[in-house]
Amino acid sequence: MIIPVVLAGGSGTRLWPMSRQHYPKQLLKLFGDKTMLQQTIARLDGVPNLAPPIVVCNEEHRFMVAEQLHEIGQPKASIILEPVARNTAPALALAALHARSLADNPILLVLSADHMIKDVSAFHSALNDAIVAALAGHLATFGVNPTRPETGYGYIKTHHDSKQADATFYPVTRFVEKPDLPTAERYLAEGCYYWNSGMFVFQTEVFLKELQEQSAEVVIAAEQAKVWSVQDLDFIRVDKDSFSQAPNISIDYALMEKSSNVVCVPFSAGWSDVGDWKSFWDLSDKDSAGNSIIGDGIDIGSSNTLVFSQDKLVATLGVNNLMIVNTPDAVLVADQSQAQQVKAIIAQIEKQKRSEHLQHREIYRPWGCYDAIDTGDRYQVNRIRVKPGGSLSLQVHHHRAEHWIVVKGTALVQKGDQNMLLSENESTYIPVGTKHRLSNPGKIPLEIIEVQSGPYLKEDDVIRYEDSYGRS
């Protein structure tokens, strides 16, 4: 049995302003009609003996992850919530311990939720080679055949000899950090270096045994956290205090760089970690001048430029090598040579105590989402969408009143002791201090316009009495 383990806890800061802390790149539809998480799992279609995946994610993203898995027919996936961020080694230890409880020494296929692979058949071929290596007792990692002297990736150095001309995997001699350009050029010339993809295949028991030998504190903390784990709706919650004792360490540092049992499976499949907007442009379809325009855009005379627009027309005229990313509340304009430096913008946003690095204007909740389309003194206008069967918590506000106007679907409104059904173009008023709840009993999404009014309109003016999603 092969169990995919999908690590989905990253933040993707260099893809700001699309990727935000509360809605990171792995949950976005950057390429096509599926999110990066969904594409990661979907590209495993056709792999034999495949079990439902284990997804390890941040607690804040749990409902979005669960919904995206349901959308692609994965309701039996295990979703493990990291109570605190501790990097990939503790996350993988948790997943392996859970996999041990599901099957007898399954093979684990470890994937990142935010990578792209264009040639799925080539990836499947490499996966077959990695499974052979794993069944032989090795820790297999995928090494990407480098196509350029890349300074943004770590590298894997392998040992080749003349007897291995037809080998499908090679012993790893060392992992190396991101090099400078001359060093990357030397790696490319030597031919035994590969980009470190961060994807692995190994038997569960082999992995846990070696991790215990090399970084016992990681396994101990994960085991203790799992002992006190509980099932909460679709999620596995592990003990926060125990997990917090795990060192904050990557799987490369904790195990792969220390083990003498690691082999590299080289492959060429159009892989990218989509680490920045330059990488995104590299992967995108382009016109004859090298421009990639996604969304509403008009260009005259530009070259090698990326335009990504969510909600308005972006017009470019005679520019070169630019990255222009437009979202409803923030716009990035940068030279492609500065793609790796976008995180410096995040640092400035944090320094100024702004919130544009945390979340989009459209805020996702387990019942749906809302978009603050206008805000002023003592009022805020929201567009609210509630998915079929979704329900907001039964709540009360002490500082604001709310007007609700149904524009699509049917709303079930609980207001005090009264329950009412509202259809399109009907409305209701929720006075300050009135206990209320909004639900969607229909089969299509419910959309309403909400007008809040009062002296204090922030989201912490809420007292919940009942909630379908376990929120306090």
Residue among 18, 56, 437, 446 at smallest CA distance from 251: 56
Residue 351 in tokens: 């320094």
Both tokens assigned to 397: 């506000």
Alpha-carbon gap, residue 328 to 314, rounded angstroms: 12
C-alpha radius of gyration, the chain, whole number: 25
Per-residue pLDDT at 159: 87
Domain map (residue ranges) of the chain: 2-272, 277-351, 362-466
Q: What is the pLDDT of residue 472?
A: 67
CA distance 307 to 22: 23
What fold is seen in the domain 2-272? Spore Coat Polysaccharide Biosynthesis Protein SpsA; Chain A (3.90.550)
Exposed e or buried b for every residue in 197-234, given b needs 16+ CB within 10 A?
bbbbbbbbebbbebbbebbeebbebbebbbeebeeeeb
Place of tokens 């997804």: 55
Give residue 165's pLDDT. Answer: 58
Give the pLDDT score at 60. 87
Of 156, 154, 169, 49, nearest to 109 by C-alpha is 49
Domain 2-272 identical in fold to domain 362-466: no
Instruction: Return the HEC string of 274-342.
Output: CCCHHHHHHHCCCCCCCCEEECCEEEECCECCEEEECCCCEEEECCECEEEEEECCEEEEEEHHHHHHH
Q: Is the dihedral of CA 361, 71, 116, 195 positive or negative?
A: positive
Token pair recorded at residue 372: 């603050």
List the end-to-end C-alpha distance of the chain, in Å, as a whole number. Answer: 39
pTM of the complete model: 0.88
Specify whether the backbone of 233 is left (phi greater than 0), alpha (psi in -120 to 50) or beta: left
| Bridge partners (DSSP) listed for residue 27 | none
pLDDT of residue 43: 96
From CA 65, how far away is CA 113, in angstroms rounded?
11
Q: What is the pLDDT of residue 434?
A: 97
362-466 maps to CATH 2.40.110.10: no
Residues of the chain with pLDDT under 50: 162
3-state SS assignment for residue 63:
helix
Whether residue 27 contacts residue 61, with contact meaning beta carbons closer than 8 Å, is answered with yes
**Residue (of 105, 110, 100, 98) closest to 135 by Cα position:** 105
| Rounded CA separation 178/340 (Å) | 13
pLDDT at 161 (0 to 100): 65
